[in-house]
Structure 1
Amino acid sequence: MKEKKKSGQESKMTILFGKKIFLGSCGIVLLITLMVLFNTQSILRDPQIFFYSLKSVGSPLLFKNESAPTTPAPECHLPPGWTSENSSQPLKSLHLPENNTCLNILIRRHCYKDNLTIPNVVHYVIFGHKPMQLFTYLSLLGTWKHIKPCFIVIHGDVLSGKFYEKFLTYRPRMIYVKKTPKVYIFGTKISYIQHKADVARMEIILQYGGIYLDYDQIPLRSFDPLRNHSLCMGQETGGQLGNGVIVAQPSAKFVKIWMETYHTYNPNQWAYHSTIMPYKLSRLLGHLVFIVQTFFKPNYLQIDQLYSRNIDWSTFYAIHLYGKIQMKTETLESIRYKDSTFGSIARYIVYGKKDLQKKSKVKLNDTTTKKS
């Protein structure tokens, strides 16, 4: 009897030991697979990023939106005149409340007509009402002329001022979506409006997809060649990816992981989560992001190349107008004679020609084709 009992215990121990070996083997195989997939050196260099990457595996909804639940849209129709090419009158803008599903519906209906992965809609975040400045006029006009989006969507406050009124004469399809800046992110207070805008652009691009632009980012050509990737970001410096341009499909995996890293957000680390963290993630998850070299060239360490020199920007997708202080005295008239990279870009956007004009010559006319 004792021998049978002992034999039974030994069998159970053998089975248990076998299960442990099996599970241990599976764990080793999984670990090796993940190390190959996520880059071994990056894991050892920054275990925190590996943790957030691992957390996302198999997770359909990594980012928990802390905003109010979305409300159904009773009607989602374009305003009168948006589909007409006969009128010369400025189009009426569409205004939507916060957390409304109408924008999702409109994007699905109108922004995938070329069957590319990323919808051709452009988003801006504007927190703080001020009359629109020249650099924002150049950004919006460059967007309308070169990206040719289905809509330009302003999240936050409504634009105004003489430059905005001038931009409306091009009959852009403008959508305003009310958006309240977040006060907290994963329990940590967001101290600066710039950091609130950083979080807002990620929420927007996760929910809707499309092209996010800072309001001083100037598009110089079509973004269509980039819109078959899941995500595109630009190299800013050696250790940073700029977040002034984000081109992404809705719910892009990389952006979900990036958002999760805000669990460690520290308001005293100015650019860590906005530009340094995505660079670190790109070293680990390079298969989830396509890096563009000509979104932020020249970068913020090379401002003299914008305002004091002339560089060849003919191959650039966009350029960032760092140094807005240098632009405070610029006007649509002064850019005609500005002998710099900024001057040639501004003339190209406004007048369709980048050539420097001498004051003694006949003025260029702003007669570029206006899109209906």
Structure 2
Amino acid sequence: MWKIHIWKGPQRMLMMMKRYTRVGGAGVLLALGILLLYVIFWCSRKEPQPLQRLSYRPELFDIVKESIFTGFNNETGSKNGEYIIPNIIHFLFFGESRISYVAAVCVLAAFKNQHPEKILVHTDVDSFRGPHWEKLKNTPNLTIEVHKIQMPNEIFGQKINHVWHAGDVTRIKILMDYGGIFLDNDSYLVRSLDCFRKYEMALGLDENGYIGTQVLVAHKEARFLRLWLETYREYYPDLWYFNAGQKPALEILWHKPELVHSVRTLFGVHDLSQELYRQYNWKEWRNYHTIHLLIRHRHYLDSWWNFYWWPELNEINIHDYPMTFGQMARDVYDFK
């Protein structure tokens, strides 16, 4: 996301030029010199390059040699297309006792469009409260169960330094325990994922081939889950997304892509903030299976004008919110 902020530097340079030009010709020359140095700096600056694939480690794959999915074809799926993944949806809330409006929208979208047997909400808090939790509890035919878990503070003896990393590890373990569909709290399920329940595991890849962890569909014995967890034996606490999305792609899927059914676009794990929060009528959203809303990043992905008028999206102002997400939210929150 670093490109989003690239023009803040030039804006500061222009402000400095205005300041220096008030003091005469010397100030103008100084300002032009500063601007020239800045231009040289940006022209010589190299863009971040995609990470190179990690070397093949055959010993890593030994742990899945004896698997019920040995020889399974993740391109065609199960024989006769029968479902092998349970129709259970998982959400994870660490340290959140109040369910936000957007999270409630995503739970209701999953309920309306997937028709799951049940929705499991995993959390480390004692109880939920607030109007949106009441909305979920009182939604007819919605079976929602709260499963109390403990947030992990280490992985393979290494201290986990951030709640998001704890969530990355926990979602793997949840799927290894139950199987089913895991959704981030801001992942909007547009239409049924049943067509992916015939595979050992299905996940989304971004434009670089890295894993989008926001939507995961997996059998609890999926080989990739075990290998993914195993890659955390080398945990990099200071790298935000390396262990979750980059390392398993580079170390596992680039060598054995057949372990999963890859979805390049329709899981919506790439940046769709422009379409969601700046466009009035983006009809293509209905073509996706899921869309990651990036709601925690909206404060810098949206325009300053939109964010000024709608700093928070809720059940009240959503009725007048003209952008695409408004239509998506209204489509499910008032669902009866």
Q: TM-score, normalised by structure 1?
A: 0.64
| Alignment pair present for 1:148 and 2:119 | no
CA deviation vs aligned residue, 1:21-54 (integer Å, no higher than 9, x gap) = xxxxxxxxxxxxxxxxxxxxxxx95225544224
Paired residue secondary structure (2:276):
helix
1:288 counterpart (252, 259, 267): 259
Query: Contact 1:126–1:154 at 8 Å: present in 2 too?
Result: yes
Partner of 2:75: none
Distance, in Å, in 2 between the alignment partners of 1:50 and 1:341 is 46
Given that 2:109 and 2:190 are in contact with CA atoms closer than 8 Å, whether structure 1 keeps it comes out as: yes
- What's the offset of the Cα at 1:115? 5.5
Q: Following superposition, which runs of at least 4 residues in structure 1 exceed 6 angstroms of deviation? A: none
Equivalent position of 2:84 in the other structure: 117
Contact 1:254/1:285, CA 8 A, preserved across alignment? no
Q: 2-side partners of 1:204 and 1:45: how far apart?
A: 27
SS in 2 for 1:314: helix
Residue in 2 that maps onto 1:87? none
Are the equivalent residues in 2 in contact too, given 1:146–1:220 (CA < 8 A)?
A: yes
Q: 5+ unaligned residues in a row in structure 1: which ranges?
A: 1-43, 61-113, 351-365
Match of 1:165 in 2: 134
SS in structure 1 at match of 2:152: coil
Which aligned pairs between 1:11-50 and structure 2 lie closer than 5 A?
Answer: 45-47=53-55, 49-50=57-58
Indicate if the aligned counterparts of 1:294 and 1:316 stay in contact, CA closer than 8 A: yes
More helix per residue: 1 or 2? 2
Displacement of 1:270: 1.2
Aligned partners of 2:211 and 2:249 also within 8 Å: yes
- What is residue 225 of structure 1 aligned with on the other side? 195
Residue in structure 2 matching 1:136, options 99, 103, 107: 103
Which string of whole-angstrom CA distances, capped at 9 and with x for unpartnered residues, describes residues 181-229 of structure 1? 1111111110101111111110010111000111111111111111000
Distance 1:323 1:126 in 2: 15
State how many pairs are aligned. Answer: 255
Aligned-pair CA distance for 1:125: 1.2
Counterpart contact for 2:90–2:181, Cα < 8 Å: yes
Contact residue 185 and residue 262 of structure 1 kept, 8 A:
yes
> How far apart in 1 are the matches of 2:132 and 2:233?
39
Aligned residue number for residue 344 of structure 1: 327
Pairwise CA distance, 1:151 = 1.0
Tell me which of the two structures has the higher relative contact order, counting C-alpha pairs closer than 8 angstroms and 6 or more residues apart. 2
Deviation at 1:55, TM superposition (A): 4.5
Residues 139 and 218 of structure 1 are in contact (CA less than 8 Å); yes or no, is this contact kept in structure 2?
yes
Report the alpha carbon displacement of residue 342 of structure 1 after superposing the two structures with TM. Answer: 1.2
User: Separation in 1 of the partners of 2:91 and 2:295?
Assistant: 19
In 2, Cα distance between the equivalents of 1:49 and 1:274? 19
| Structure 2 CA distance for partners of 1:117 and 1:55, relative to 1, 3 Å | closer
- Report the equivalent of 1:261: 231
Instruction: Check if 1:306 corresponds to 2:314.
Output: no
* CA 255–229 in structure 1, closer or farther in 2 if over 3 Å, else same: same
Q: 1:202 to 1:337 in 2, by over 3 A?
A: same
SS at match of 1:313: helix
Sequence identity (%): 28
Q: Give the Cα separation in 1 of the matches to 2:56 and 2:157.
A: 19
The equivalent residue for 1:238 is 208
Q: Deviations over 1:70-100 (max 9, x none)?
A: xxxxxxxxxxxxxxxxxxxxxxxxxxxxxxx
Contact 1:232/1:290, CA 8 A, preserved across alignment: yes
Among residues 250, 261, 270, which one is paired with 2:240 in the alignment? 270
SS of residue in 1 equivalent to 2:211? strand
Q: Deviations over 1:120-166 (max 9, x none)?
A: 00111111033111111111100111111111111113332111111
- RMSD of aligned alpha carbons: 2.2
Does structure 2 conserve the Cα–Cα contact (< 8 Å) formed by 1:208 and 1:250? yes
Following the alignment from structure 2 to structure 1, what is the Cα–Cα distance between the partners of residues 170 and 100?
Answer: 22
1:235–1:296 CA contact under 8 A, matched in 2: no
What corresponds to 2:315 in structure 1? Answer: 332
Q: How far, CA to CA, are the matches of 2:213 and 2:147 in structure 1?
A: 21
**Residue in structure 1 matching 2:160, options 165, 169, 190:** 190
Equivalent residue, structure 1, for 2:288: 316
Residue 237 of structure 1 deviates from its aligned partner by 3.5
- In structure 2, what is the Cα distance between the partners aligned to 1:339 and 1:129? 29
Distance in 2 separating the partners of 1:254 and 1:166: 36
Greater C-alpha radius of gyration: 1
Query: Which amino acid is 2:256 matched to?
Result: L
Instruction: Tell me what 1:251 maps to.
Output: 221
From 61, 64, 72, give the equivalent of 1:53: 61
Say if 2:56 and 2:255, in contact at 8 Å, map to a contact too. no
